[in-house]
Structure 1
């Protein structure tokens, strides 16, 4: 082991722990929502916005967060994001009512977007394209899979023992620990910083456009896909994103240089990253609902039901780099999407109203646990392979935005499919709900199958030449 590898491992552990915190935070709060509703006398609409406010600001600001990290410095933005996340979490723990809690969750999303984009950019700077980066991305994927289950389990335990407010204070504690450790393991000179002007018009149109599209998607289930609110917000958001493309073509220092989006591998890999989350994110949600609503598990049991999947993720993720080395990036990616399609299809067909965990969920979930790191690591590798050093924040923001919007779109579409199918089936409650979950998972399998076909067309770029030297930020951050 070289002396340089020791601090890099410490930095990777810190960044992976940040990924764990951000994924865990979403799961913890979702588990605590029923208790929030009872304590604050909030209806279902108010409770939905406790979750949605976070998703909207997180998804809408990832791209901007990545570019801000390029401009101001990755470590500085990372620490700022963690600080904001901690302060907003404390505000959530002290919230006197539902409105204050929704505002705190929106602020949490802002902090999470800054921390997530900067953390991913720091990883790209610490680990150049190659086997070391593949292993680092594997660690990220493992922490993401573990965070979902750990958040569900901790959310149930902590809420039962200490109340829902303690889940927010847990975030404060974790974020504070990471913020204290960051200056010790992250080099002050965290890489080149992009110099130039700030693209205000591009920032406003991109952030508002992404935020409105996220708002339309997360609210579609309640308001209706063809409601004035959904169509108005979605249409305005898309119009702003079209305006953003026109602004970028004329900007002196564009938020997203048009030349970046002309790279075929980058466009396709970001599309594949979104499709992966379109299937994966709602799958966790639907399986948890099936275990609780149909098989009668408690919320804690529903979370523990996903533990075998997460253990497979943790085992497979570190080996993904070796597989990429042996059979190639696009073959590994295609294999991952084929396994994702097969696992989701198997899970959908295995569900029965009177089954048990071992006979319905366990075996296909193990296959999905193997698929998750393969698709996550390979899409991240492909989406960031062409990024020059001064584009690391941009690359991380683009792929993180793609993944977040894939998650939001997948959850909105698959839950709508499940709801409509459940309402259309004239059968017992358990049979109707099982039919709805099956229809949703079959839709998710179709998304994964389409991604597998697209992955065959991916032609990963060769190693990018070393970028031209960029001035380093003075060591005073």
Structure 2
């Protein structure tokens, strides 16, 4: 990509020289003009390399959220974890990750997005080494918690840095497409990589693999990312707001991820949820009256920011259910091994890569991000409808495979355009917190969606068992209910997108002004 941009700059220079020399004056290009063209090409190449490095960091973080799932049985057998502690291998990462994204994004705006990103990357890599070396459950769970903190600090401001790296709309649309693939493709690849590493080496390597990646990404980011100065901690240090929102999100995520095991009517779920609502309400009130709010009200006054976050919450909630229950369907109903089930997901990242990096940018450039979003969501919903036809008698190539391709196509169109709209009305000094908000919505939406869909699957499966339906058919019936409801989530997201999202003025989609020097 970058060499092509350099080459296109060369041919633009050649055409300009030919056009000028064909005129009446036949004035040759000056040495300064020639140097400015090649300087611009080199700068563009550097910016694209920075986008690729940031996208690689996103792949690493998203992949780590899914890579552990396949290795859970091996971790349980090796460390002797109980079922409850085994679940915390995942939850110990998810809770700090979801709770700290908004605060980490704002810290990037106040201090420096580059240095906050590098600090988070170093912490995440060190915690990965710790987790891979763990030989007991206490060490593993503590390492996973620190990993979650490092992952939040690393990823909170990534989207903001991507959209400020390339100010020209056409390049920015393509950059968001690349980053969108990193976000979605990393999740789909996690299942595959986790299965391969666990089978070929050991579960320890699902964590060790992050260390060399983190070192390479860190070195490249240090060299390529421009040094930026934040507005200063004193200019925006809302300590009370930070405590309220972090505690509220952490408690909310904790209550949601335990809702299925504890029950929706349990004291843990209801009490944690109630306290979370109180804390987040207090945070919202605090932002209205604080002198230096953590989330400036000007950000939340944007219909595109609010609408894009609501649409994403519903869409990601449905997609978390798709990832989780499709893996279970492949293994428990169709009888796939964990490795084969992971490989069965490969069409998804392949389609998302092609669509998000080629089709979506062209649609956004021609029709705008809003129309592109409204086009992609119905395609995604159609994939859920197709997936809702699964049964023990239908093989992968008839049911899951085609539905996965359709869903990946719809998601590949929708996610880059949604990212563009979420950042379209945001100034550079707020890009970090807006990026953190977008990531927080993704985590909370995924947790809520998966908790609701899991409850539905459990209830529907038990009802079918009580009717005397065979085990595989009962499981498939529960998964069908989840896929139907997931399609409903996407349909509601489409309605919200039509009502709230607005086309950004020309040149302002994903517009943040140049990053402050």
SS at match of 2:292: coil
Within 5 Å, give how 1:406-417 maps onto structure 2.
406-417=445-456
The answer (yes or no) to whether the contact 2:119–2:154 under 8 Å persists in 1 is yes
Q: Please list every run of 5 or more consecutive structure 1 residues that lacks an aligned counterpart in the other structure.
A: 473-477
Q: How far 1:420 moved relative to its partner?
A: 1.3
Q: 1:110 aligns with which of 142, 146, 149?
A: 149
Cα pair distance change 1:243/1:359, threshold 3 Å: same
Q: How far 1:252 moved relative to its partner?
A: 1.5
Moved more, 126-135 or 458-467: 458-467
Distance 1:421 1:367 in 2: 26
Per-residue CA deviations over 1:220-253 (Å, capped at 9, x if unaligned) read: 1111111100111111011000111122222221
The reply to whether residue 459 of structure 1 matches residue 502 of structure 2 is yes
The answer (yes or no) to whether the contact 2:253–2:447 under 8 Å persists in 1 is yes
Q: How far 1:96 moved relative to its partner?
A: 3.0
Within 5 Å, give how 1:259-338 maps onto structure 2.
259-318=298-357, 319-338=359-378
Cα pair distance change 1:124/1:470, threshold 3 Å: closer
Distance 1:32 1:130 in 2: 42
Distance 1:356 1:455 in 2: 35
1:20 corresponding residue in structure 2: 59
Cα pair distance change 1:327/1:42, threshold 3 Å: same
1:163 corresponding residue in structure 2: 202
When Rg is computed on C-alpha atoms for both structures, the one with the higher figure is: 2
The reply to whether residue 353 of structure 1 matches residue 392 of structure 2 is yes
2:484 corresponding residue in structure 1: 442
The answer (yes or no) to whether the contact 1:352–1:431 under 8 Å persists in 2 is yes
The reply to whether residue 432 of structure 1 matches residue 470 of structure 2 is no
Distance 1:274 1:323 in 2: 23
The answer (yes or no) to whether the contact 1:149–1:304 under 8 Å persists in 2 is no
Q: How far 1:356 moved relative to its partner?
A: 1.0
Within 5 Å, give how 1:373-412 maps onto structure 2.
373-412=412-451
The answer (yes or no) to whether the contact 2:164–2:514 under 8 Å persists in 1 is no
Q: How far 1:315 moved relative to its partner?
A: 0.7
Cα pair distance change 1:456/1:162, threshold 3 Å: same
Per-residue CA deviations over 1:73-103 (Å, capped at 9, x if unaligned) read: 0110111011110111112112232232122
Cα pair distance change 1:197/1:368, threshold 3 Å: closer
Q: 1:339 aligns with which of 379, 404, 418?
A: 379
Distance 2:346 2:118 in 1: 31
Cα pair distance change 1:216/1:103, threshold 3 Å: same
SS at match of 1:235: helix
Q: Please list every run of 5 or more consecutive structure 2 residues that lacks an aligned counterpart in the other structure.
A: 1-5, 7-40
SS at match of 1:386: coil
Q: How far 1:450 moved relative to its partner?
A: 0.7
Moved more, 195-204 or 107-116: 195-204
Distance 2:220 2:515 in 1: 28
Moved more, 300-309 or 117-126: 117-126
Distance 2:213 2:79 in 1: 25
Distance 1:310 1:118 in 2: 23
Per-residue CA deviations over 1:149-168 (Å, capped at 9, x if unaligned) read: 32212211211222111211
The answer (yes or no) to whether the contact 2:238–2:294 under 8 Å persists in 1 is yes
Distance 1:156 1:362 in 2: 19
Normalised TM-score (structure 2): 0.88
Distance 1:24 1:262 in 2: 33
2:228 corresponding residue in structure 1: 190
Normalised TM-score (structure 1): 0.95
Q: 2:73 aligns with which of 18, 34, 38?
A: 34
Per-residue CA deviations over 1:173-201 (Å, capped at 9, x if unaligned) read: 211221122112212x2365456141100
Distance 1:216 1:134 in 2: 37
Distance 1:429 1:36 in 2: 27
Per-residue CA deviations over 1:22-64 (Å, capped at 9, x if unaligned) read: 1111221111111111111112111111101211111111111
Within 5 Å, give how 1:188-267 maps onto structure 2.
189-190=227-228, 193=231, 196-267=235-306
The answer (yes or no) to whether the contact 2:97–2:151 under 8 Å persists in 1 is yes
The answer (yes or no) to whether the contact 2:431–2:512 under 8 Å persists in 1 is no
Cα pair distance change 1:294/1:4, threshold 3 Å: same
SS at match of 1:253: coil
Q: How far 1:469 moved relative to its partner?
A: 9.2
Q: How far 1:305 moved relative to its partner?
A: 0.9
Cα pair distance change 1:130/1:310, threshold 3 Å: same
Cα pair distance change 1:416/1:439, threshold 3 Å: same
Within 5 Å, give how 1:116-155 maps onto structure 2.
116-128=155-167, 130-155=169-194
The aligned length equals: 470
The answer (yes or no) to whether the contact 1:338–1:452 under 8 Å persists in 2 is yes
